[in-house]
């Protein structure tokens, strides 16, 4: 049995109905981004004032990177969901939702509260939830899982940066 036989693409007549779903997922992901931006309203000054390792990126880089990553997070979920009943992708949705909630929690922990250790715990849990998301997405739609690889790499980098800042600033 081929990959497409196990996980057929949606019926062509239903394809158009999946665009509102994509818009909903994009809206959800960018709502998480907006809430993070509110929590990090003074982040530029706070980030600049931190002791950071030499390999830390400039503060201006975070916005463009996250803008692209949130789009890939939404598109990956859309590829998994479209044309499938929700009951068939419940594990994928659970992992995806968990990583999104943990993603949302990190910014206020790190920037608003200055709780670098707690933020590091959160980002480690985020990496675990992201690994679960990747694994379950790969079972349904491998390209959707591959879309999340840059996100996983960036979050791994952010976790290392979070740990370095926690060690330098406490």
**78-90: per-residue pLDDT in tens?**
999 998 999 999 9
Task: State the Cα torsion 143-149-150-151 to the nearest 10°.
Answer: 110
Rg of the chain taking only CA atoms, in angstroms: 17
Cβ atoms of 47 and 59 within 8 Å: the answer is yes
The pLDDT tens digits along the chain (170 residues) read: 555 445 554 444 445 558 999 999 999 999 999 998 888 776 667 777 889 999 999 988 988 999 999 999 999 999 999 989 999 999 999 999 999 999 999 999 998 899 999 999 999 999 999 999 999 999 999 999 999 999 999 999 999 999 999 999 87
Task: State the Cα torsion 132-133-135-137 to the nearest 10°.
Answer: 160
Q: What pLDDT is recorded for position 17?
A: 57
Number of domains in the chain: 1
- Kindly state the helix (H) or strand (E) to which residue 19 belongs, with its residue range: helix 18-39
In a domain, 26, yes or no: yes
CA 165 – CA 91 distance, rounded (Å): 34
Domain that includes residue 144, residue range: 17-49+58-168
Q: What is the CATH number of the domain that holds 150?
A: 1.20.1260.100
CA 90 – CA 44 distance, rounded (Å): 38
> 3-state DSSP call for residue 118?
helix
- Please give the model's pTM, rounded to 2 decimal places: 0.87
In a domain, 12, yes or no: no
In a domain, 11, yes or no: no
């Amino acid at each position: 049995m081929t990959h497409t036989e196990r996980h057929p693409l949606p019926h062509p007549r239903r394809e158009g109905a999946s665009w509102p779903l994509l818009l909903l997922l994009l809206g959800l992901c960018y709502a998480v981004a907006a809430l993070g931006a509110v929590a990090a309203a003074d982040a530029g000054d706070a980030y600049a004032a931190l002791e950071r390792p030499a390999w830390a990126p400039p503060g201006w880089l975070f916005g463009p990177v996250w803008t692209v990553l949130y789009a890939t997070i939404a598109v990956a979920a859309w590829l998994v969901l479209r044309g499938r009943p929700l009951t068939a992708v419940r594990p994928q949705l659970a992992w995806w939702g968990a990583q999104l909630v943990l993603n949302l929690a990190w910014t206020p922990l790190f920037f608003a509260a200055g709780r670098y250790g707690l933020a590091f715990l959160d980002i480690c849990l985020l990496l675990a939830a992201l690994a679960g998301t990747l694994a379950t997405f790969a079972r349904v739609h491998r390209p959707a899982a591959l879309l999340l690889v840059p996100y996983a790499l960036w979050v791994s980098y952010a976790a290392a940066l979070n740990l370095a800042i926690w060690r330098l600033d406490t």
